[in-house]
Amino acid sequence: MNFQNSFAELGSAFSQPIELSPLHEPLLASWNTDAAQLLGWDSVPEQITELLNGQIPLERPPVASLYAGHQFGVWVSQLGDGRAAILGEIENDNARWELQLKGSGPTPFSRGGDGRAVLRSSIREYLCSEAMHGLGIPTTRALCLIDSKTPVYREEVESGALIVRMAPTHIRFGSFEVFASRGQTDEVRQLADYVIQRFYPECLQSDNPYLAFYQKVVERTAEMVAGWMAQGFSHGVMNTDNMSILGLTIDYGPFGFMENYNPDYICNHSDHSGRYAFNQQPNIASWNLGALGNALLSLLETKKAQTVLDGFKDLYLTAYKRRMSAKLGLNKISEKSEKLVDELLHLMRECQADYSRSFRFLSRESTWDQAAKQFGDSKQFKTWLSRLAECRANHADCERLALSQNPKYLLRNYMAQIAIERAQQGSYTEIDRLLRLLQLPFDEHPEDEEYFAEPPDWAKRLSLSCSS
């Protein structure tokens, strides 16, 4: 297999060649045909497991990239791919996909870590990135999951695994911050030129391509976070090294989809101050974009960069309001639609209603009685419903729009947990089942109806480890 590797060609300041450390007894546990098709692969390529597991030498060595970042607001001057390896790019249908292994062993940036990823966290990332794609939220993709017999030591011994991620590039805000912090302005420019030429070529037409580039990143990040907020997704670790320069959701760790509506929801148990709580995500995105702006200051005028950054709030709010109106089946933002959303969320919080099930039931008038049950059949909710009915002019169009925005199926932690426990016992079929279900979350899937039902009681007591 022939990979190009344009990122590696940028030179040794940006990445280091590495040797992969093969996992023992690798087993292709799941293969994502949808993602494979993006690469032009209609069937599983021969010896792909051996190749991805580093048992077959590549023409050009894989590389690990350098970056830094603000972790929980604290500056960390050097991070980098401590357990990831960029294999290179595959071109298909006028698109280039960078393939990156996660869990393939230590690199010069491992900082004492083992370079591994456990099966549990790999399944979660594999499923969630595809679920996000299914929801229409920009994200890295996942090509496959490889399980193994390599022991990996976390709170207990677990199996080492790896996933293959795909994105046009995996460059992060922190990839710029590392050079800016060292005063390496040539490298900042080189990296910006690479990103602009490859991924934002439209900015080259602008009088000020670097400012146009920053503007685009601000826009894409606003769209991404609006998607998260509309679908109740919490990332959990919004450090600047986990922010993609393409506005893709990246680095799935202790993420969570909100179940009972609670805007203060914190999915990451180590986030004691709630810095990355659900409702903080737009503010944090803006903070992170500020850090990126600082890192680009050698290329930008401070005042102009600040104006671009100040635009984030409006971009985000417009994108968020558009999505929330659509979730009610309303195709325009109006004072009325905004009020309806605010009041609904207020009632949801009071009643501890399930966020995604409530919206799904609200999509069709024929299930409004089930929606009402989520709100304890309260009088207030019924009044609210009658006001929604008044705003829904063309019923069929409204239902269609709402059904296209409100997924029937969501990757709840307990669902991932079932797939994880089965995989730990050697059966991967549940992973494939969830993958197929979550890739088309707006469809009915009558055979999987149990995953639309109210989550089982044990799901509420589920405690997740943040180690990965």
Tokens, residue 73: 């607001």
Task: Decide if 241 is catalytic.
Answer: yes
Cα–Cα distance measured from residue 81 to residue 306, given in angstroms and rounded to the nearest whole number = 30
Contact positions with ligand AMP (CB under 6 A) in 321-340: none
Contact predicate 159/150, CB 8 Å: yes
Query: From the list 63, 237, 388, 402, which residue makes contact with ligand AMP (rule: CB under 6 A)?
Result: 237
Pick from 386, 410, 248, 232: nearest CA to 324:
232
Considering only the stretches 78-86, 388-396, 411-419, 426-434, report the one whose residues sit in contact with ligand AMP under the rule CB under 6 A: 78-86
3-state secondary structure 164-203: EEEECCCCEHHHHHHHHHCCCHHHHHHHHHHHHHHHCHHH
Angle between helices 281-295 and 312-327 (to 10 degrees): 150
Which does residue 354 touch among ligand AMP, Mg ion, none (CB within 5 to 8 A, set by kind)? Answer: none
In the complex with Mg ion, the residue whose CB is nearer, 238 or 435, is: 238
Strands 27-31 and 141-153, by their bridges, are antiparallel
* CA gyration radius, the chain: 22
Instruction: Check binding of 293 to ligand AMP (CB under 6 A).
Output: no
Q: How far apart are CA 43 and CA 40, in angstroms?
A: 9
Supply the DSSP string of 95-116, one letter for each residue.
Answer: EEEEEEEESS---TT-TT----
Choose the one of ligand AMP, Mg ion, none that binds residue 350, judging by a C-beta under 5 to 8 angstroms depending on kind: none
Please choose, out of 76-84, 184-192, 347-355, 421-429, the segment that lies near ligand AMP by the rule CB under 6 A.
Answer: 76-84
What's the min distance (Å) between Cβ of 241 and Mg ion?
Answer: 5
Residues 99-158, interacting with ligand AMP (CB under 6 A): 110, 113-116
Instruction: Please say which residue, 145 or 437, places its beta carbon nearer to ligand AMP.
Output: 145
Residue of 81, 147, 207, 241 with catalytic role = 241
Q: Choose which of 5, 30, 242, 249 interacts with ligand AMP (CB under 6 A).
A: 242
The two beta strands, 27-31 and 233-234, are unpaired
Provide the 8-state DSSP code for 329. T
Nearer to ligand AMP, 149 or 460 (CB): 149
Number of residues that bind Mg ion (CB under 5 A): 2
Considering only residues 250 through 269, tell me which ones interact with Mg ion, judged by CB under 5 A.
251
CB under 5 to 8 A by kind: which of Mg ion, ligand AMP, none does 65 bind? none
Residues near ligand AMP (CB under 6 A) are 79-83, 110, 113-116, 237, 242, 251, 253, 468
Q: Which residues are catalytic?
A: 241
